[in-house]
Structure 1
Amino acid sequence: MNDQLSRRTVLGVTSGAIATGLAGCLTGNDQQENNDGQNSDAAGQTDEEDGHDDSHEEDDHGSHTEDLNGPSAEAEVAMTTTDSGDHFEPHVVWVESGGSVNWTNKSGSHSTTAYHPENDEPQLVPDETAAWDSGVLSEPEATFDRAFETEGVYHYYCTPHETAGMIGSIIVGHPDLEAQPALEEPPSEKSDAVREKLTGLNETVRGTLNGDNTDDDNHADNDSHANDDGHDDHNH
């Protein structure tokens, strides 16, 4: 009788211990899965944050045109060599008549040189304006300044890197777009790469100076379409 009770007691204790052990294992596995899930979520969040930062950096690096909301008294242009190439940053600036532009060499060796017959180049500056050429600036933080009195559009380039697309534009005042040599068809004697760059700059300049008119035209078109749609619907 005692032996039977003892066996039952041992079996009960053993069964309880096994159940407790299994419960402990299950609890440990659940806890590990929870930890793994939290780690995965944290890793995913980190990846998302990293992706956001990379995108922001790319946007900053790709921005080569300042906010062209109107002419300023002066403008700053950096001349740089980066992994993506050689650049004027920003590519287009807008100053008042009499305003000045300051170029600063940040890295590499560059020049700011007008497209002007005096520089043995086609004229891509307003009529009867003087040429400029800084010469190649190689020292870091070397600068070149020029004031612009005549309203108009001025294209210029870097002598070592023109064919690589290092070309910039200056808008002075509120010029008549139809009277600007710079905005005519790019010179045929230039390479395709240079012509393509000049075409892009011309589009930016025209878009900047025609911004208000473009918005008005789009608004009028939208209103016209809306009225036409409403009229058709009414007829149907």
Structure 2
Amino acid sequence: MNNHIPTRRHVLALGGATAITAVAGCVNSSGSQPLGGADDEGNDDTSNSGDDHNHDHDHELGHPEASIEVSMESDEDTHHFVPHVVHIEEGGAVTWYLESGAHDTVAYHPDNSNLLPSSTERRIPEDTHPWASDLYRTEGETFERTFEESGVYDYGCTVVEHGHGPDRGRGHHGHHRTHEETGMVGRVIVGWPEYDEDTEPALRAPQADLPDRARREFDSFNERTEEALRHGGHR
């Protein structure tokens, strides 16, 4: 489903109002320091994932929300989904909005291999349908998806920067680096799936054909997801 929906963020942007601060995911278990690399000030610790941004956050994994917004951002040579990992209820919605740069959101599924060559193996639950947004270039553009099925869903940005401007569909086997190669990948946890690699492909070790930076990010996501599903929140 591909929608350009005037979300709260979009309306504020069009109205010239002050933008709402983007949030980045963390796990907080029973009052302990947030996991997934957050320091005492609430900023992401970059030591595990190679992420050289600090992101403010107030979204806690282990506490699924009915809906959430994820920004798509560029800053110099780095690109990010913020929050990187989100936790929503079954039937909940995620709205991606373009904060800066040019980006898309594409699920890891063989059906998307023409856009994302590294998606030869699915990283979303079995018997669920993948998504692939348009390429967004205008600040404030949005894409929304409702997630009806419990599970863990991974996605990335396929955009590649070259002399003719942003494009997509070439994958990391081409001559220019994609945003996926810089670590612009994300995860949606829906409901309370079992932490089981047999039923949740996203929880398996990242496949060898993924770019190195994306593999490191998914390893980090798996640690945070395990903490959220096995120890976080109250069912």
> What is the total number of aligned residue pairs between the two structures?
159
The equivalent of 2:193 in structure 1 is: 175
Q: Distance in 1 between matches of 2:214 and 2:55?
A: 20
In the alignment, the residues of structure 1 paired with residue 90 and residue 193 of structure 2 have an alpha-carbon distance, to the nearest angstrom, of: 10
| Paired AA for residue 141 in structure 1 | G
One-letter amino acid of the structure 2 residue matched with residue 59 of structure 1: N
- Using the size of structure 1 for normalisation, the TM-score is 0.62
Tell me the TM-score normalised to structure 2 length: 0.63
* Matching residue's letter, 1:133: A
Which segments of structure 1 move beyond 6 Å, counting only runs of 4 or more?
A: 55-58
Q: Which has the higher helix share?
A: 1
More strand by share: 2
Alignment partners' CA distance in 2, 1:191 and 1:58: 28
What is the CA distance between 1:69 and its match in structure 2? 4.0
More RCO (CA 8 Å, sep 6+): 2
| Alpha-carbon contact 2:63-2:232 (below 8 Å) kept | no
- Residue identity opposite 1:192 in structure 2: D
Superposition RMSD in Å: 2.3
Unmatched tracts of structure 1, length 5 or more: 1-54, 214-236
- Aligned to 2:152, the other structure's residue is in SS state strand
Could you say which structure has the larger radius of gyration? 1
Deviations 1:134-182 (A, max 9, x none): 1211111000000001100000001121010000000000001112100
Distance 2:145 2:109 in 1: 15
**Cross-structure match for 1:110:** 103
Say if 2:190 is the partner of 1:190.
no
Deviation at 1:197, TM superposition (A): 1.4
Write out per-residue CA displacement over residues 87-136 of structure 1, whole angstroms, 9 at most, x where no aligned residue.
10000111111100000001000001000111011200000100101121
Q: Distance in 2 between matches of 1:192 and 1:101?
A: 27
User: What is the percent sequence identity of the aligned residues?
Assistant: 39
Q: Which position in structure 1 is the counterpart of 2:48?
A: none
Q: Secondary structure at 1:150's aligned position in 2?
A: coil
Q: What is the DSSP-based 3-state SS (H/G/I as helix, E as strand, rest coil) of the residue aligned with 2:158?
A: coil
Could you tell me how far apart the structure 1 residues matched to 2:193 and 2:40 are?
35
Distance 2:184 2:56 in 1: 11
| Residues 43, 56 of structure 2: 8 Å contact kept | no
Aligned mates of 2:157, 2:55 — CA distance in 1:
19
**Separation in 1, partners of 2:232, 2:124:** 24
